[in-house]
């Protein structure tokens, strides 16, 4: 009932349905050896037996019609994405010719929405590889944010109430509450700050004025276009060139030509750190970016010694380990060890300390630099 009220409030202000654009171009190097170039993190199916990207679509049920859900991914991942999301129309999945960071991807997604819904359409930019423990609260938060940005010229980011002094996330500094008639709380954003060291992260937590930056945004087409015009004209030029070619035979060629003109720039740096009309919705829906094997383990069964296991594994006289076995008919045994991550796949096995988990990209890059090992990445 609550979601119906929130959604009605948004639709009453806009007379339109909400759109969602799911960003799905990442590779997830910190999920090696299960996550690969050929199987990026969003396609990993160890959470509830379905790919993370399917979770991203399914938790929008009741809020965003399937025909209004679009996916921006890499050109080489379009077919894989189509197979993972059979409920979406194939034309809703669009591939970038190559990555130009999130400003370009957000612009492409917004142009796709404008083509379908016009310049007053409201859309949410969402992630493909995160989990939410409370998808019902997540949907309410999106509906409230859509209502807030539809009523005035605003961009909303979703800020996550921090649970610990994380060094792997950027932070949002807020400077005052925004008065709204929504259940979700909103704050005015003072500034965005980069990933801090542990000392700075502790200060942010203690201040009570900082939230984790989830990388999820809600805006209207018009508001985003105006921001591009003011703060990032090169990406706006790409937007203007690509928009009239969407759903035509020259779209792919135009997109390639325009992307070749762009430098890599994130939407945070291009717009969010400069714009003055940014608000933050407080997200309390059990968000988890599942960024490492440690955080992935939090979603696996746990024994009395803190060992978290996925698949067929026996862990004895050991504590606080993460064991992942992806191969049927194979057993992983761990005995007398603590604080390890063991991940076994058909052609590669990872053994790492939990302390080293955030730096797993170093190993992947080392493998990529060696011709004899590159095939395993």
Q: Is the pLDDT of residue 27 over 80?
A: no
| Domain end among 225, 253, 288 | 288
Mean pLDDT, all residues of the chain: 94
| Domain end among 261, 288, 315 | 288
Same domain, 64 and 79: yes
The predicted-structure confidence for 258-302, as pLDDT tens digits, reads as follows 999 999 999 999 999 999 999 999 999 999 999 999 999 999 999
The predicted-structure confidence for 51-86, as pLDDT tens digits, reads as follows 999 999 999 999 999 999 999 999 999 999 999 999
Same domain, 181 and 299: no
Same domain, 241 and 158: yes
Range of the domain at 334: 294-376
Same domain, 177 and 324: no
Same domain, 159 and 266: yes
Counting the structural domains of the chain, the total is: 2
Same domain, 311 and 164: no
Give me the CATH number covering residue 197. 3.90.550.10
Same domain, 191 and 309: no
| Domain end among 288, 322, 340 | 288
Same domain, 17 and 137: yes
Q: What is the pLDDT of residue 28?
A: 73
SS (H, E, C) the chain: CHHHHHHHHHHHHHCCCCEEEEEECCCCHHHCCCCCCCCCHHHCCCECCECHHHHHHHCCCCCCCHHHEEEEEEHHHHHHHHHHCCCCCHHHEEEECCCCHHHHHHHHHHHHHHHHHCCCCEEEEEECCCEECCHHHHHHHHHHHHHHHHHCCCEEEEEECCCCCCCCCCEEEEEEEECCCCCCCEEEEEEEECCCCHHHHHHHHHHCCEEEEEEEEEEEHHHHHHHHHHHCHHHHHHHHHHHHHCCCCCHHHHHHHHHCCCCCCCHHHHHHCCCCCEEEEEECCCEECCCCHHHHHCCCCECCCCCEEECCEEEECCECCEEEECCCCCCEEEECCECEEEEECCCCEEEEEHHHHHHHHHHHHHHHCCCCCHHHC
């Amino acid at each position: 009932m609550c979601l119906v009220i929130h959604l009605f409030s948004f639709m009453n202000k806009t007379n339109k349905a909400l759109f969602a654009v799911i960003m799905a171009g990442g590779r997830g190097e910190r999920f090696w050896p299960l996550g690969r170039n050929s199987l990026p993190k969003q396609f990993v199916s160890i959470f509830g037996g379905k790919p993370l990207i399917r979770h991203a679509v399914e938790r929008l049920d009741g809020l965003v019609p399937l025909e209004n859900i679009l996916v921006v991914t890499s050109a080489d991942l379009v077919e894989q994405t189509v197979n993972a999301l059979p409920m979406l129309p194939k034309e809703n999945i669009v591939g970038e010719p190559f990555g130009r960071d999130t400003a370009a991807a957000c612009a492409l997604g917004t142009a796709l929405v404008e083509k379908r819904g016009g310049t007053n359409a409201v859309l949410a930019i969402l992630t493909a590889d995160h989990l939410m423990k409370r998808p019902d609260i997540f949907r309410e938060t999106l509906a409230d944010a859509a209502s807030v940005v539809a009523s005035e010229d605003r961009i909303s980011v979703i800020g996550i109430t921090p649970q610990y002094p994380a060094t792997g996330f950027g932070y949002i500094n807020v400077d005052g509450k925004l008065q709204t008639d929504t259940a979700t709380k909103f704050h005015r954003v003072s500034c965005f700050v980069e990933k801090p060291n542990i000392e700075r992260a502790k200060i942010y937590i203690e201040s009570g004025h900082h939230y984790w930056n989830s990388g999820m945004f809600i805006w209207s087409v018009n508001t985003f276009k105006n921001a591009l015009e003011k703060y990032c004209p090169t990406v706006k030029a790409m937007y203007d060139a690509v928009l009239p070619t969407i759903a035509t035979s020259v779209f792919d060629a135009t997109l390639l030509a325009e992307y070749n003109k762009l430098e890599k720039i994130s939407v945070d740096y291009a717009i969010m750190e400069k714009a003055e009309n940014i608000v933050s919705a407080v997200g309390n829906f059990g968000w988890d970016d599942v960024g490492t094997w440690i955080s992935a383990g939090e979603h696996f069964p746990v024994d009395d010694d803190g060992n978290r296991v996925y698949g067929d594994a026996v862990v004895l006289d050991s504590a606080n380990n993460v064991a992942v076995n992806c191969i049927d008919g194979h057993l992983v045994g761990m005995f007398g060890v603590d604080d390890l991550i063991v991940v076994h796949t058909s052609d590669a096995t990872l053994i790492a300390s939990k302390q080293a988990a955030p730096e797993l990209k170093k190993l992947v890059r080392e493998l990529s630099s060696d011709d004899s090992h590159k095939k395993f990445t």
